[in-house]
């Protein structure tokens, strides 16, 4: 059975969708069978980031409503044959997402894929709650700023109360992904440093993704950064995060301005 991961945060614009695409592609590049699901009904963007917007025929709501079989809604990536996308609907109401429907779809996907990665909408509304409900683990994406960290703390509370695992008294595995980290701004006090973010949220650190123009370039051409900019520092950070997600021991390195991408080693907190 596959593992279900929700990529979530409290605040919009922190990089959940680009992180979902990059980590999903990194896992697929390592030989895993991966499906990434968009839960942002009405405002879908995962298909754009994956360069699949013109190939969407059926979506998650069509499958839940019984209007299309799951196999017809899945879109195979053009570059990686073991990476698939299940898009959200742009025109349907969010109320069409039901706990029973989502659980049925995810259960079917777990039988086929090694990883089911759910791209959650921001906030704590219906789509976000349903995206996390059936998760085995969560990646909390946060920017190193006070408002983003505070909202992430709220999401951690929901993960501990609103998921099936929580209701069954089981522990939900949680990982922190710090995105858009800028060493110079952190040094000047314009954003939180890595230690501050980890101390506040108190969950294991999965990775530190530096601020980079590569991510914007990748989004504009419709390809995960781990595919189209695979030799870049930001791609390496996502590759390393994906390796940690599967259980490999990979040192976390804090990007530093004076020493380029490879800076000081950061001691990963125990799970």
User: Looking at the domain assignment, is residue 61 inside a domain?
Assistant: yes
User: Looking at the domain assignment, is residue 271 inside a domain?
Assistant: no
User: Looking at the domain assignment, is residue 15 inside a domain?
Assistant: yes
In degrees, to the nearest 5, what angle opens at C-alpha 11 toward C-alphas 10 and 17?
Answer: 95
User: Looking at the domain assignment, is residue 151 inside a domain?
Assistant: yes
pLDDT at 57 over 50: yes
pTM: 0.92
What's the pLDDT score for residue 43?
79
pLDDT digits (tens, 9 = 90+) for 74-130: 999 999 999 999 999 887 767 788 999 999 999 999 999 999 999 999 878 888 999
User: Looking at the domain assignment, is residue 123 inside a domain?
Assistant: yes
pLDDT averaged over the chain? 91
- Determine what percent of the chain is predicted with pLDDT higher than 70: 94
Range(s) of the domain holding residue 67: 3-266
User: Looking at the domain assignment, is residue 144 inside a domain?
Assistant: yes
What's the pLDDT score for residue 263?
44
CA separation for the pair 36, 7 (Å, rounded): 10
- What total number of domains does the chain contain? 1
Task: Give the E-state strand segments of the chain in sequence order.
Answer: 3-8, 34-38, 75-76, 83-86, 115-119, 137-142, 173-181, 205-210, 252-253, 265-266
For 238, the 3-state DSSP assignment is helix
Between 260 and 175, the more confident residue is 175
**Residue of 69, 28, 77, 31 whose CA lies nearest to 51:** 77
φ, ψ of residue 28 in degrees (nearest 5): -65, -40
User: Looking at the domain assignment, is residue 25 inside a domain?
Assistant: yes
Beta strands 3-8 and 205-210 are unpaired
pLDDT at 188 over 60: yes
One DSSP character per residue, 100-120 reads HHHHHHHHHHHTT-SEEEEEP
CATH code (residue 24)? 3.40.50.300
């Amino acid at each position: 059975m596959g593992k279900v991961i929700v990529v979530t945060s409290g605040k919009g614009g922190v990089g959940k969708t680009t992180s979902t695409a990059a980590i999903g592609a990194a896992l697929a590049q390592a030989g895993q069978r991966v499906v990434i699901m968009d839960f942002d009904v009405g405002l879908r963007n995962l298909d754009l980031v994956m360069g699949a917007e013109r190939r969407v025929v059926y979506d998650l709501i069509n499958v839940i409503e019984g209007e299309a079989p799951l196999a017809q809604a899945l879109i195979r990536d053009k570059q990686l044959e073991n990476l698939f996308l299940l898009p959200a609907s742009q025109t349907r109401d969010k109320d069409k997402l039901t706990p029973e429907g989502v659980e049925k779809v995810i259960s079917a996907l777990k039988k086929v894929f090694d990883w089911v990665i759910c791209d959650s909408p921001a906030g704590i509304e219906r789509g976000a709650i349903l995206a996390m409900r059936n998760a085995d683990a969560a990646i909390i994406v946060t920017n190193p700023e006070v408002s983003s960290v505070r909202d992430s703390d709220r999401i951690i509370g929901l993960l501990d109360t609103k998921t099936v695992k929580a209701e069954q008294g089981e522990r939900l595995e949680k990982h922190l992904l710090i995105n858009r980290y800028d060493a110079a701004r952190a040094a000047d006090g314009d954003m939180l440093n890595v230690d501050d973010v980890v101390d506040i949220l108190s969950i294991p650190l999965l990775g530190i993704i530096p601020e980079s123009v590569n991510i914007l370039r990748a989004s504009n051409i419709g390809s995960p950064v781990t595919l189209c900019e695979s030799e870049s520092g930001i791609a390496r950070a996502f590759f390393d995060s994906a390796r940690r997600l599967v259980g490999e021991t990979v040192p976390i390195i804090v990007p530093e301005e004076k020493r380029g991408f490879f800076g000081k080693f950061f001691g990963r907190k125990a799970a």
